[in-house]
Amino acid sequence: MTQAQAGSGQPGIVVVGGGIAGLAFALSLQQQGLLCDVYESVAEVRELGVGITLLPHGMRELAALGLQAELEAVGIENLESVFFNRFGQFIYKEPRGRHAGYALPEIGIHRGKLHRILFEAALKRLGPERIHTNHRCAGVTQTDSGATVHFVDGRSGEALPPVAARVVVACDGIHSAVRRQFYPDEKVAFAGINTWRGVTRHAPILTGKSYMRVGSIKTGKMVIYPIVDSVDEHGRQLINWMAEIEGNNASMNDWNSGGKVEDFISIFQDWKFDWLDVPALIRQADQILEYPMVDKDPVSQWTFGRVTLMGDAAHPMYPRGSNGSAQALIDARTLAAEIASQADPVRALHAYEAKRRETTAKIVLTNRSLPPDFINIKVDELSGDKPFGHIDDLISQEELREISENYKKIAGFSLEAVKT
């Protein structure tokens, strides 16, 4: 597709969803000399949510979009990843990002700040007339020659004028309305794991640049890392945390409910270590949200005529290993390059799917069976979920390093993969 075609007033590329995937795709297209229109369901983009970690392969994509300096300015660069058991005993640590030899940093950041930076870049580079808020997708119809996207007002639900497109890219998340058209009977896969997420103003923990995994999913797990530095005159940081627990007969948490401390604090009540008081961290949170840990089974097809799926609409995965956003960013760059290089946009959609579908399917399944915190699970098995004398009595640091490196290779952010 040429730039003349993209800007001629003829139907072009319609992006459904203005989250990380949709905005990154729009920016990647713009770098290729192509424009699109982005339709986002919310009326106003605000800095909502909690934290997210930008791994080096995700940062590679964001740096290519010219956003690295802005992201580093508002996030915290991770120095290390550290693993502990639920008794606060050290298991394993490794350097991260630049400190591990990568050219790019690993950054903890407020998800709302990441979204704001992408949104403002899209407004500036594409023009505000290309970014349409308060448009919730109600479905897509298509013929051999084009597609039509149907929208409703995000607040009132009233029908809005339909939009013609040459191709439609669905970036509307795990509950994608577009995906539901092609997989109407599909349900999210819930394995009994519920999560609670919060942010707490707290003194720096360990190095103040440490990403911590404590405990394991069977008996309670916490992921803890800083996302904003020096939030007050006391030098406290904004600490992001996520609590997880697996229950045999657990019912799913509600995405739309605020989390209640009393629903899960008992699991962590005794987690008082010389380096952190976990129940105090939880109780002092500014905000707590609850979510179920869900994904969807990989599917055999993303592209249907002139419509394709991207990001969480294509490959929703467990929020483990901070890899969902990175894969969405890689999707965005891959499809933009295919559309720019091929005259037939439908052929470009199929080429993109061929490059990305199997790779992301592997990551979805790996996050279920061999997540990055498998280190903690392995140690719990070896110790009988009891305190140990020294970690080397159970397993060597080299064996733990092999577990970590194996996950990085599958997920696509081994040092060798990011260098290429």
Task: Pull the structure tokens for residue 135.
Answer: 């448009």
**Percent helix / strand / coil, the chain, rounded to 5:** 35, 25, 35
Model confidence at 371, in pLDDT bands (50, 70, 90)?
Answer: confident
DSSP single-letter state for residue 375: H
Residue with tokens 């360990």: 206
pLDDT score of 43: 81
pLDDT of residue 254: 81
Q: What is the pLDDT of residues 173-209, one digit of tens each?
A: 999 999 999 999 999 999 899 999 999 999 999 999 9
Q: What is the CATH number of domain 3-76+107-187+297-368?
A: 3.50.50.60
C-alpha 14 chain-centroid distance: 22
- 352 to 17, 60, 293, 313, 358: CA distances (angstroms): 19, 19, 28, 15, 11
Q: Is 203 strand, coil or helix?
A: coil
Structure token pair of residue 172: 């509307």
In whole angstroms, give the CA distance from residue 389 to residue 89: 9
Mean of the pLDDT values across residues 215-238? 94
- Report how far apart, in Å, the C-alpha atoms of 162 and of each of 14, 39, 136, 141, 151 are: 11, 12, 11, 10, 6
| Secondary structure (3-state) at 194 | strand
Least-confidence region, from 207-221, 280-294, 405-419: 405-419
Q: How confident is the model at residue 115 (pLDDT cuts 50, 70, 90)?
A: very high
Beta-carbon count within 10 A of 46 CB = 10
Write the pLDDT tens digit of every residue in 49-102: 789 999 999 999 999 999 999 999 999 999 999 999 999 999 999 999 999 999
Domain boundaries, the chain: 3-76+107-187+297-368
This prediction has a pTM of 0.92
Query: How confident is the model over 365-370, as a mean pLDDT?
Result: 83
Question: Is residue 358 within a helix (H) or strand (E), and if so which, with residue range?
Answer: helix 345-369
Helix and strand counts by DSSP (H, E) for the chain? 13, 18
115 neighbors 50 (Cβ within 8 angstroms): no
Amino acid at 292: P
Which of 207-216, 329-338, 379-388, 400-409 has the weakest average pLDDT?
Answer: 400-409
Check whether 211 has a pLDDT greater than 80. yes
Backbone angles phi, psi at 389, to 5 degrees: -75, -55
Q: What is the CA radius of gyration of the chain?
A: 22
With a CB cutoff of 8 Å and minimum separation 6, the contacts of 238 are: 110, 199, 200, 201, 226, 227, 228, 231, 286
d(CA 187, CA 362): 19
| pLDDT category of residue 322 using cuts at 50, 70 and 90 | confident
pLDDT digits (tens, 9 = 90+) for 126-163: 999 999 999 999 999 999 999 999 999 988 999 999 99
Nearest to 85 by CA among 347, 320, 368, 375: 375
At 4 the pLDDT is 30
Distance CA 216, CA 223 (A): 10
Rounded Cα gap, residues 313 and 350, in angstroms: 16
Helix (H/G/I), strand (E/B), else coil: 242: strand
The distance between the two most distant Cα atoms of the chain, rounded to a whole number of Å, is: 70
List pLDDT tens digits, range 5-30. 344 445 799 999 999 999 999 999 99
Which of the two residues, 259 and 148, has the higher pLDDT score? 148
β-bridge pairing 51-54 and 107-110? antiparallel
Query: Among 282, 280, 273, which Cα is nearest to 196's?
Result: 282
Q: What is the mean pLDDT of the chain?
A: 92
Contacts of 56 (CB under 8 A, 6+ apart): 97, 102, 103, 104, 105, 106, 413, 418
Q: How many whole angstroms separate alpha carbon 398 and alpha carbon 72?
A: 32
Share of the chain above pLDDT 70, in %: 97
**Dist. CA 226–CA 239, nearest whole Å:** 4
Amino acid code (one letter) for 16: V
E strands, 217-360, in order: 220-228, 237-246, 285-295, 307-309
Q: In the prediction, which pLDDT does 37 show?
A: 98
